[in-house]
Structure 1
Amino acid sequence: MTDAAHVRLDLPPGYRVGEWVLKEPIGTGSWGVVHAAESAEDGAEAAVKLLPTHLLPPGQRASMEQLVRREVRFSLETDHPHVVRTREVLTVRDPERPELDGATALVMDRAARSLQDALTERADDGPAPLPDAPRILAGVGAGLAHIHQRGWVHGDLKPGNVLLAPDGEVWLGDFGLTVELDGTHAYVPPLGSLDHVPPEWWSDREGGRSVVRPTADIWAFGVLAHQVLTGGLHPFPGSTPRARALAAQAYARGTAELRLENGVPEGWRALIADCLRPDHASRAALDAGELAARARALEAPGAGRPGAGRARPEGRGRRLRVVAAAAGVPLVAVGVTAGLLLADDGPDAASGGGAAASRPASPSPSVPGAIPAASDVPRKLRPVLTSAARRCAEEEVTPAFLAAMLKAESGFDADARRPATDEYGIAMWTPSVFKSWAQDGDKDGDKSYMSPPDAIAAMSNFVCWLDQQYKKKGMRENLPALMAAGYRTSSRTVIETGGVPERVRPHVERVERYLREYSG
């Protein structure tokens, strides 16, 4: 869908679709625009997503129509307390507005927020679980088990597609990639959230489509559970969905270990590890029914707290209508397509992908290379350093090492400047070089070399890459010193020298001295 189509569907409050009077927009995505809505008949609240099926080019339209038909059938067949309800499917008929005439509208129960929103709101709390985390995960597991038992696979399970109702209910949402199994598997377009799909998703293709199995949802539940129990931390390092997906693939190949956050409780840790087994065959030992049962059992210790075990509210019976409307006048039936209550963020988003998944974590004595409490490292930087170190799978890149680097570079001065060498900020970045390492190489104009979190994250990306380059060349001794030297010169200079170049040795020795202090 073009940007222009997005704009043309962003309707003013008061526009009516069937009985639903549109209010303010509450989200936009790659497929449509979502509006809050209120029934003109009884004042009930809903969310209406407008999808410009008629504006798509023929090739995309055929795929979208297939998704439309699939989601309509899914909505007709699925009724469960933990699956969001689709109330109506409408075709808008408004000849006076040709840009809108023929658009598809989905009317659904409106959530208060998504699970991604909840994670984002707690961004500053470090790696602490969300309130009611066990209850939320038990609800997700129950909804997933129901879908699988009826022969469907969700296909895009992530925090942005788990919805939290005003009364605390947990709903699975956004069934645009949900597919019915044909035997043991099915095929979907090569979409999905890159850091929530299993490693085999990248290679298991046929005719341009990805093979999807129930074990894909099992994997995604493992990723999601880790995020819910750690305040947003992804179980695989990386500052972008692509980087985290590559780390998951390295784990699946056996070249990297699965490193779960230390604060994850033991029972959940075991379940997450089973969900994140590296290949489809080993993951198949855990089906969604057993997953849901284990999640319910893990919820039990907190079952007596407020909000747990909340009953389904009255009036949530199935009432799906498939009709068409023009300013309230019913006409012809049509289907639905990708997206539910809250607009999707596109296939690369991971619902907050980088935002929540790379959330700063508070240092813990059990974290390798954690920063001692009595050190001079500014307290506000410690969770940022811990989170940045987690982006790298190389064991030498620790919070203590990054702290030592910052101390040697700027003395933790966020406003440090060396105009003569064009170096600025807490990590002394040259602006043009920073752009190459911020967000794993993505040229993101919103990132700033003068922002300590951005500068530290980019530093972690760069020294992690240096560490890997040295290891490829067989240079495995005193890697912290080599990384510090490469940061001041280049990987090529260090490799050609065969060690620390003489001209940066005093600087490297300072880094080593600070590292010993922070490692003690």
Structure 2
Amino acid sequence: METPRAAGRYRIDRLLGSGGFAAVWLGHDSELDAPVAIKILADHWAQREDLRERFVQEARLLRSVDSHRLVQVFDIGELPDGRPYFVMSYADRGTLEELLAAGPLPLNDALHLAREIARGVEALHAHGVVHRDLKPSNVLIRSTDGADRIMIADLGIARTDDRLSSLTLPAGSPGYMAPEQAQIDGAPDRRSDVYGLGALTYHMLTGEPPAERRRVPSEVRPTVPHNIDSVVQRALEPDRELRWPSAHDFAQALSQTLGRVDTDPLPHTRPVPKRHRWRKGRLLWTAGGALAALLLVTGGTVWAIAGDDERANHAPAAPRKEHGASMGDPNGRWLRTDRGIPPQYRRLIVRAGTWCEIPGLSPALIAAMLKTESNFDPDLSDPKADEYGIARWTPSVLSRWQPGGSNNPAPRPADITPELSVPAMGRFLCSLGRQIETVPGDPALNLAGLYRSGVEKVKKSGGVPPAYRPYTQKVDQYLKIYRPS
């Protein structure tokens, strides 16, 4: 990706992160002598009027709410080549996702942070906006006046009051999205965001997002009081009529628990590194630098399942390296750290391997498949097979598992990034893998065989089809190498 020199009056210094639809750059406002984040629509989407309008609408929504608990938009414009961009506050302290990489937060800190996020969502709701994609990577942290504050970002799939009654497609991020968001015309409303707030709070308290068959927080972490269990569990009710009716009500319920909880030392978890630690209501960040300012429209943002196609001989694709992905799984919880998995892909691999809870799926399986598919080569190109990149996606097949699904055109081979294609593996396996759960054999290898052959072939063969067993044997070898001891 060529670095643009400037966006209007803003100098562009370096890439912070990129996704399927946009990239975020660290910029500098020469007039105010301050760092900014600049989000630029990808060039191959800039000709799509509907996507341009969606991109600009995100900036308008952020600007209209204008809360310090949301990323704030300062400016908007177009590059000389016609690509739209907008300029926002820069989150120099990183994301909640990075903060949670070390495990659960101290109880008081988790509750204070959850309440602040809820108040940010409350500000959105007061302006008639439903976020629909609350997750750790969409909560940013910025240092201000000697303290740190959260900012909610990425309104790329948000809906406003005037659109809530129109047809909705499945959208959100598994683990944090309400059940109605997985349905066509599920009519998500403010209570869908209440579910997202409950999922974020659950993750901060327990160190993991809620699973389908979840335990209450106190079962995962015995020091969580039962009154907090009830607050979080009500937010996570599958039936939205039983949830807290609003973000305000959820925030109020959390406020009633604050001050009654002693911060525990988390004796059953690994210590939280000094680099990520909340203390007395603020985050201490001792390392210089930091990751990005803004949430991208990446794989994992929009979940539109288009059906049950077989991949047949189609495989995945991906290319360039994710900036800063070495933050993923630093302590080797999911993957061995001494077996040659490129660090820049670890976070993507963990994301894909924990997309849902189904037998056989794990980050180690995703890593083993990527090793077998391409030897982690982001630039792999096999035009004869129409397969490209780190995961060997065929563009026409990837189009069904990319953000927005088949509503967006198939990506060009050169545009199939690891950020796009590796999370798509998680979506693919989670969606179609449920259809082969009862097939005999090793569940992980059945998923690998599914990835190469399709649902019907795995069912018909009663496991991995014979033609794909050499492939799954290689996957099995690497799976044993990459699994943590």
- Secondary structure of the 2:37 match is strand
Q: After TM superposition, give the deviation of residue 91 of structure 1 in Å.
A: 1.0
* Residue from 128, 131, 135 that aligns with 1:151: 128
CA offset digits 1:33-77 (Å, max 9, x no partner): 21111111231111111113x63286xx23313313432431332
Q: Which residue of 2 is the match for residue 118 of structure 1?
A: 99
Match of 1:270 in 2: 230
- Which of these residues, 225, 244, 247, is aligned with residue 288 of structure 1? 247
One-letter amino acid matched to 1:219: Y
Q: Does 1:213 align with 2:172?
A: no
**Paired AA for residue 118 in structure 2:** G
Which secondary structure state, in structure 2, belongs to the residue aligned with residue 82 of structure 1?
A: coil
Q: 1:168 to 1:288 in 2, by over 3 A?
A: same
- 1:84 offset after TM fit, Å? 1.5
Maintained 8 Å contact 1:119/1:228: yes
Q: Secondary structure at the match of 1:116?
A: helix
Q: How far is the alpha carbon of 1:235 from its aligned partner? A: 1.4
Written as runs of structure 1 = structure 2, the 5 A alignment for 1:109-508 is 109-112=89-92, 113-120=94-101, 122=102, 126-127=103-104, 129=106, 132-166=109-143, 167-182=147-162, 185=165, 187-188=167-168, 190-205=170-185, 211-231=187-207, 233-236=208-211, 248=212, 256=213, 258-260=215-217, 261-263=219-221, 264-283=224-243, 285-301=244-260, 307-308=280-281, 341-347=294-300, 360=333, 438-439=362-363, 444-446=368-370, 469=438
- Give the Cα–Cα distance (whole angstroms) in 1 for the partners of residues 110 and 10 of structure 2: 34
Greater Rg over alpha carbons, structure: 1
- Contact between 2:62 and 2:73, CA under 8 Å: does it hold in 1? yes
1:179/1:186 contact within 8 Å kept: no
Tell me how far apart the structure 1 counterparts of residues 177 and 187 of structure 2 sit (CA, whole Å).
11
Runs of 4+ residues deviating >6 angstroms = 302-305, 349-352, 391-394
CA deviation profile, 1:158-209 (whole Å, cap 9, x unmatched):
100001112310111111112112386455554421332112222242xxxx
Moved more, 185-194 or 134-143: 185-194
Name the TM-score, length of structure 2 as normaliser: 0.55
RMSD: 4.6
Query: How far, CA to CA, are the matches of 2:50 and 2:131 in structure 1?
Result: 17
Q: Which runs of 5+ in 2 are unaligned?
A: 264-277, 284-291, 304-321, 335-352, 373-429, 444-485
Q: How does 1:73-112 map to 2 (within 5 A)?
A: 73-93=60-80, 101-112=81-92
Give the Cα–Cα distance (whole angstroms) in 2 for the partners of residues 189 and 138 of structure 1.
29
Within 1, Cα distance between the matches of 2:371 and 2:252? Answer: 43
| Aligned-partner residue type, residue 347 of structure 1 | G
Q: 1:26 and 1:309 mapped to 2: Cα distance?
A: 24
Q: Which residue does the alignment assign to 1:56?
A: 45
Question: Contact between 2:62 and 2:70, CA under 8 Å: does it hold in 1?
Answer: no
3-state SS of the aligned residue for 1:169? strand
CA 1:78–1:174 in structure 2 vs 1: closer, same or farther (change >3 Å)?
same
CA contact (8 A) 2:154 2:294 kept: yes
Deviation (angstroms), 1:216: 1.3
Name structure 1 gaps, 5 residues minimum: 1-6, 94-100, 237-247, 249-255, 311-338, 362-387, 395-435, 449-460, 473-482, 484-520
Instruction: Give, in whole Å, the separation in 1 of the partners of 2:111 and 2:279.
Output: 13
Q: What SS does structure 1 have at the residue aligned with 2:258?
A: helix
Secondary structure of 2:151's aligned partner: strand
- Are residues 111 and 267 of structure 1, via their aligned partners in 2, closer, same or farther at CA, if it must alter by over 3 Å? farther
- State the number of aligned residues: 321
Which residue, out of 29, 45, 49, partners 1:39? 29
Cα deviation code 1:127-179 (max 9, x no counterpart) = 55488222211110101111112211011111000011123101111111121
Residue 438 of structure 1 and its aligned partner are, at CA, apart by: 4.7
Q: Residues 438 and 266 from structure 1, CA distance in 2 versus in 1: closer, same or farther, beyond 3 angstroms?
A: closer
Letter in 2 for 1:22: I
CA distance, structure 1, for counterparts of residue 299 and residue 116 of structure 2: 25
Partner residue, 1:414:
none
**How high is the sequence identity, in percent, across the aligned residues?**
22
Partner of 1:83, secondary structure, is: coil
Quick one: distance in 2 between partners of 1:308 and 1:129? 11
Residues 1:297 and 1:131: Cα distance change in structure 2 (over 3 Å): closer
SS in 2 for 1:445: helix
